[in-house]
């Protein structure tokens, strides 16, 4: 699936293990391990980048994350904002450059945000939505904009604060913010008999909870999915699962949903991609999702 983000994002070019993007008015040059083909545009285009992420020596981690530093032109700010028109709501994001090459936004996820918004709108009353590994809150904002009561959970307080800023910039309010290990939280919620009508999962390949809890996707995913299956309302609800781990097939995400949510009808799965100016499609994550409303 090719995501169309809107006027505030463009994948200009990709190749030679890099991508050249525009976020708002600024061009960024970042590593991209999946862009193994040659670049289409001349080097002069790439040299116009306002910021360039220069990775540290050494190979990238298994999950594709990389450390390094940003080289900035004088006009490049430390922070700036972009917007995304999610159906009837303008979502606003504060961007900034991190030491892991990220800027606080994954534009390809806009396709999932639209699905989340539409799912909430189709559910009766005021659905409860749980967003795990929620990062800076794109999915949280989409669900809240559609009228859901949202619990936003991430293990890193700084990114939860970042998500809170995005909520305020988007003119939204009343999100429940939690800094905790995702596995600990869903275990406790399952014991309490809690039910949600929407569950969003975007787990990393590797991670640490706020108290040093260890997360390895291949080892922990089965338990997490089993707990989430207990949390989802079996009569009405939706699940969105996104995986960034390199080498994972969309069929893996599809199987995870079908195994733990056997009543799910019409599970969608595929890759989320962006297309550059030359028409080449860059795969960026795999997803599976379904909507179940009796």
Average pLDDT (243-250) is 82
Rounded to an integer, the average pLDDT of 144-149 is: 98
The Cα–Cα gap between 240 and 70 comes to: 32
Q: What's the chain's average pLDDT? A: 92
Q: Beta strands 51-55 and 268-275: pairing type?
A: unpaired
pLDDT at 62 over 50: no
Q: Please answer whether residues 239 and 201 qualify as being in contact, where contact means their C-beta atoms are separated by less than 8 angstroms.
A: yes
- The separation between the first and the last C-alpha atoms of the chain, rounded to the nearest angstrom, is 27
Fill in the DSSP letter of residue 109.
G
Q: How many CB atoms lie within 10 A of CB 233?
A: 18
H or E stretch including 224?
helix 217-231
- Per-residue pLDDT tens for 65-92? 577 899 999 999 999 999 999 998 999 9
- pLDDT attached to residue 56: 79
Q: What percent of the chain has pLDDT over 90?
A: 82
CA dihedral 271, 227, 204, 292 (to 10 degrees): 20
**Which pLDDT score is estimated for 125?**
86
| Cα–Cα distance measured from residue 238 to residue 290, given in angstroms and rounded to the nearest whole number | 6
Predicted confidence (pLDDT) per residue in 30-61, tens digit: 999 999 999 999 999 999 999 999 987 654 44
Q: Would you place residue 206 in the very low, low, confident or very high pLDDT band (cuts 50, 70, 90)?
A: confident
What pLDDT, on the 0 to 100 scale, is given for residue 227? 95
Q: Is the pLDDT of residue 205 over 60?
A: yes
Domains of the chain and any CATH numbers = 106-293 (3.40.50.150)
Please tell me the predicted confidence (pLDDT) of residue 65. 58
Residue-wise pLDDT for 164-180, tens only, equals 999 999 999 999 999 99
Q: Is residue 15 within 8 Å of residue 34, measured between CB atoms?
A: no
Please identify which residue in the block is written with the tokens 């980048």.
49
Q: In the prediction, which pLDDT does 67 show?
A: 78
Can you tell me the mean pLDDT for 207-224?
A: 82
């Amino acid at each position: 699936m090719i995501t169309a983000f809107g006027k505030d994002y463009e994948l200009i070019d990709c190749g030679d293990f890099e991508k050249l993007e525009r976020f708002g008015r600024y061009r960024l040059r970042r590593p991209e391990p999946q862009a193994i083909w040659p670049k289409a545009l001349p080097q002069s285009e790439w040299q116009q980048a306002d910021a360039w992420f220069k990775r540290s020596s050494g190979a990238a981690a298994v999950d594709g994350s990389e450390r390094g530093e940003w080289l900035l032109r004088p006009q490049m700010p430390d922070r700036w904002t972009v917007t995304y028109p999610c159906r009837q709501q303008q979502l606003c994001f504060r961007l900034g450059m991190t030491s892991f090459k990220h800027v606080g936004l994954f534009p390809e996820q806009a396709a999932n945000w639209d699905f989340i918004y539409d799912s909430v709108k189709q559910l009766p009353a005021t659905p409860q939505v749980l967003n795990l590994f929620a990062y800076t809150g794109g999915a949280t904002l989409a669900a809240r904009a559609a009228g859901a009561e949202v619990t936003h959970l991430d293990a890193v307080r700084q990114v939860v604060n970042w998500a809170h800023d995005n909520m305020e910039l988007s003119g939204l309010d009343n999100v429940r913010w939690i800094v905790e290990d995702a596995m600990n939280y869903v275990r406790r919620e399952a014991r309490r008999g809690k039910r949600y009508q929407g569950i969003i999962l975007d787990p990393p390949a590797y991670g640490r909870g706020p108290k040093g809890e260890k997360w390895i996707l291949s080892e922990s995913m089965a338990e997490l999915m089993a707990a989430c299956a207990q949390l989802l309302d079996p009569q009405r609800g939706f699940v969105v699962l996104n995986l960034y781990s390199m080498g994972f097939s969309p069929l893996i995400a599809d199987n995870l949903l079908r195994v733990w949510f056997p009543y799910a009808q019409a599970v969608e799965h595929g890759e989320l991609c962006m297309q550059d100016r030359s028409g080449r499609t860059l795969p960026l994550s795999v997803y599976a999702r379904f909507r179940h409303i009796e």
